[in-house]
């Protein structure tokens, strides 16, 4: 499997009789579907590169026509598949802003407590994201993604430095470092 692929959409059904696919965008830039010439289709871990014949907005998503998929039956086989692009093709973000896939897996360190653990998940709460850190010492640590908490992110080094707010971890219940 290619670890450099980023999911931009999920096939959620078929449309019409000519093999069109309904796609739910998993990107903040859904207009990219109208520009796609090719896309990787990940069906349960089997990835194949496919040519895009056409794409158009539809309701809250997009309709996509892939070369070689010409009937509802052929399209149905791809249902629930992920549409992916190479990491090098993602939309560039402003400095200091990161994609979730870039943050997941980072080692998280607090200025006072040292190594907390690994960022395993990002919860989207509406007000601000919350980073879930699996910590051998403190269990699951929930860190609000706020400027005053996230001190530094170094993607190349695989490291995030934080300044935990009081009460986020109970230091008295900490297990010894494993």
How do residues 112-166 score in pLDDT, each as one tens digit?
Answer: 999 999 999 988 887 888 999 999 999 999 999 998 999 999 988 999 999 998 8
Exposure of 39 by Cβ count < 10 A (0-12 exposed, 13-18 middle, 19+ buried)?
A: buried
pLDDT at 167: 80
- Domains annotated on the chain, with CATH: 5-88 (2.40.30.60), 100-168 (2.30.30.240)
pLDDT at 177: 56
Mean pLDDT computed over every residue of the chain: 88
pLDDT reading at 2 higher than 60:
no
Average pLDDT of span 86-96? 79
DSSP for 87-153? GGGSPP--TT---HHHHTT-EEEETTTEEEEEEEEEEE-SSSEEEEEEETTTEEEEEE--TTTEEEE
Q: What is the pTM of this model?
A: 0.65
* Helix and strand numbers, DSSP H then E, in the chain: 2, 12
- Distance (Å, whole) CA 115 – CA 155: 16
CA distances from 77 to 22, 112, 149 (A): 13, 52, 45
Distance of CA 13 to the CA centre of its chain: 21
pLDDT at 1: 44
Average pLDDT of span 75-102? 85
């Amino acid at each position: 499997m290619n670890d450099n692929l980023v999911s931009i959409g999920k096939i959620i059904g078929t449309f019409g009789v000519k093999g069109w696919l309904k796609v739910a965008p998993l990107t903040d830039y859904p207009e990219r579907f109208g520009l796609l010439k090719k896309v990787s289709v990940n069906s349960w871990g089997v990835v194949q590169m496919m040519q895009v014949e056409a794409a158009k907005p539809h309701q809250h998503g997009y309709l996509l026509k892939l070369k070689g998929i010409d009937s509802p039956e052929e399209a149905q086989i791809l249902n629930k598949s992920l549409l992916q692009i190479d990491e090098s093709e993602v939309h560039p973000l402003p400095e200091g802003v990161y994609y979730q896939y870039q943050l997941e897996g980072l080692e998280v360190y607090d200025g006072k407590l040292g190594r907390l653990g690994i960022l395993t998940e990002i919860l989207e709460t509406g007000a601000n994201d919350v980073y879930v850190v699996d910590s051998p010492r403190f269990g699951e640590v929930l860190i609000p993604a706020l400027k005053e908490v996230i001190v530094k992110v170094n993607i190349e080094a695989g490291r995030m430095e934080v300044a935990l707010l009081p009460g986020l971890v109970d230091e008295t219940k900490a297990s010894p470092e494993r």
